[in-house]
């Protein structure tokens, strides 16, 4: 075998993926947790802030993918949208405007 990179740790719970990253296999508990979060997201998404606007024409394709996204929220999973929107809602609720702006800058800088 011609592979010369790092070896996969000796466990059946890890699978090899691209770019030298290891990912753990989804266990039934993980899938149930994801389904639960998806249900919560669908029940609360109308009351939470998330990027509903359209992607500007000509920018619908994201680098390294052939997927066409018409709206920004299509680039995220329900779990990611739920996490990001609840974080944003909490930041919006901060009464100190200077702290609120600092928190928003921190989130946007890492987005």
Given a cut of 80, is residue 94 above it in pLDDT? Answer: yes
Instruction: State the pLDDT at residue 65.
Output: 64
Does some domain include residue 3? no
**Can you give the pTM of this predicted structure?**
0.66
Does residue 99 belong to any structural domain of this protein?
A: yes
In a domain, 8, yes or no: no
Q: Classify residue 54: in a domain, yes or no.
A: yes
Q: Which domain holds residue 92?
A: 14-109
Query: Could you report the per-residue pLDDT of 38-67, keeping only the tens digit for each?
Result: 999 999 999 998 888 888 877 666 655 667
Residue 57 lies in a domain: yes
Q: Is residue 94, in this structure, part of any structural domain at all?
A: yes
| 74 part of a folded domain | yes
Q: State the total domains in the chain.
A: 1
**End-to-end CA gap in the chain:** 39
Burial (0-12, 13-18, 19+ Cβ within 10 Å), 80: middle
């Amino acid at each position: 075998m011609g592979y010369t990179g790092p070896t996969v740790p000796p466990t059946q719970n890890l699978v090899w993926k691209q770019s030298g990253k290891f990912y753990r296999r989804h266990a039934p508990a993980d899938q149930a947790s994801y389904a639960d979060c998806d249900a919560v997201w669908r029940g609360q998404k109308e009351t939470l802030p998330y990027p509903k606007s359209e992607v500007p024409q000509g920018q619908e394709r994201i680098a390294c993918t052939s997927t066409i996204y018409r709206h920004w929220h299509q680039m995220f999973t329900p779990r990611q949208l739920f996490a990001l929107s609840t974080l944003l809602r909490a930041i919006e609720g901060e009464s100190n405007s200077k702290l609120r702006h600092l928190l928003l800058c921190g989130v946007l800088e890492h987005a």
